[in-house]
C-alpha cells in the first residue's frame, strides 16, 4: 500500500508581485506527466517558469524534478521535498511562476515553490492505493449488466469505456483483487486483453 492523490489539487502563493500557482495531479506514467506539463505551458503562455517534480511507482524509485531555468535547486528540489513530506507517489506537482519584477533570491524562491506545492497537496484528496494491473474487456451488450455490476462492486478504476459498436472498457485492478479477473472470465463472452 502507498499514498497518492485521488484528484487534482491547487495551491497558490504570492511574493513581491510574483505569483506561484501549484498544481498536483495523480499520474501513473511519464506520458501522463509530459501531457500535464505540455498543457500547463499552453494554458499559461505569460508564465516564465513551469517547475515540477514527480514520483512514480510503489517503490518510489522513479522520480525527477526540474528547476526550469530557476537557480539550481531553488524550485524542483523544494517541490520534490513536498512529495516526500506528504509520503506520496504516482503524483506530479508543477508550479507555474508569473514574474512580478522583483528578484526573490534563492531563499525566497525555495519558500515560494515549497508553499505552492504544499497548498496543492493540502487541497487534493489523499488516498491509499496499491499496485494495479490494467486490462481491457471486450464483450457483447447481452452481458453488459453483469460486467458493469462486477466492475462497480470492486475497487477497480475505469480508465476508458466505449459502447459505440461493441462494448469495450479498460480498467485498472488492484493486484490484491485477483478474484475480479476470475469473476469476469467466468462471464460467458467476455474477452480479456492484458
pLDDT in tens, 52-101: 999 999 999 999 999 999 999 999 999 999 999 999 999 999 999 999 99
More confident residue, 84 or 175: 84
| Concatenated DSSP letters of 2-65 | EEEESS-EEEEEEETTEEEEEEEEE-SSHHHHHHHHHHHHHH-TT-SEEEEEEEESTT--EEEE
What does the alpha-carbon distance between residue 135 and residue 121 come to, in Å, rounded to a whole number? Answer: 29
Q: What is the pLDDT of residue 51?
A: 98
**CATH 3.30.70.240 intervals, the chain:** 130-193
- Provide the CATH topology of domain 2-128: Ribosomal Protein S5; domain 2 (3.30.230)
Q: Which fold has domain 130-193?
A: Alpha-Beta Plaits (3.30.70)
Q: pLDDT band for 24, please (50, 70, 90 cuts).
A: very high
User: Residue 73: exposed, middle, or buried by beta-carbon count in 10 A (0-12, 13-18, 19+)?
Assistant: middle
What does the pLDDT read at residue 96? 98
Q: How far is CA 148 from the centre of its chain?
A: 25
Backbone angles phi, psi at 115, to 5 degrees: -65, -45
Name the segment(s) of the chain with CATH classification 3.30.230.30: 2-128
Q: Model's pTM, two decimal places?
A: 0.81
What is the side-by-side order of every strand in the sheet holding 168-174?
Answer: 157-162, 168-174, 132-138, 191-193
Amino acid at each position: 500500500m502507498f499514498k497518492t492523490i485521488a484528484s487534482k489539487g491547487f495551491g497558490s502563493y504570492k511574493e513581491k508581485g510574483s505569483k506561484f500557482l501549484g498544481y498536483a495531479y495523480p499520474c501513473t506514467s511519464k506520458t501522463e506527466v509530459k501531457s500535464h506539463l505540455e498543457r500547463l505551458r499552453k494554458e499559461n503562455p505569460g508564465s516564465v517558469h513551469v517547475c515540477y517534480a514527480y514520483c512514480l511507482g510503489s517503490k518510489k524509485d522513479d522520480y525527477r524534478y526540474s528547476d526550469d531555468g530557476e537557480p539550481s535547486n531553488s524550485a524542483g528540489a523544494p517541490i520534490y521535498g513536498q512529495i516526500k513530506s506528504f509520503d506520496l507517489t504516482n503524483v506530479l506537482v508543477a508550479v507555474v511562476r508569473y514574474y512580478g519584477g522583483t528578484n526573490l533570491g534563492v531563499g525566497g524562491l525555495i519558500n515560494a515553490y515549497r508553499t505552492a506545492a504544499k497548498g496543492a497537496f493540502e487541497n487534493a484528496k489523499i488516498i491509499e492505493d496499491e499496485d494495479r494491473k490494467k486490462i481491457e474487456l471486450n464483450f457483447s451488450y447481452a452481458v453488459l449488466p453483469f460486467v458493469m455490476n462486477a466492475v462497480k462492486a470492486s475497487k477497480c478504476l475505469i480508465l476508458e469505456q466505449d459502447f459505440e459498436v461493441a462494448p469495450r472498457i479498460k480498467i485498472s485492478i488492484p493486484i490484491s483483487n485477483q478474484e475480479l479477473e476470475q469473476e469476469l472470465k467466468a462471464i460467458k463472452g467476455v474477452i480479456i486483453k492484458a
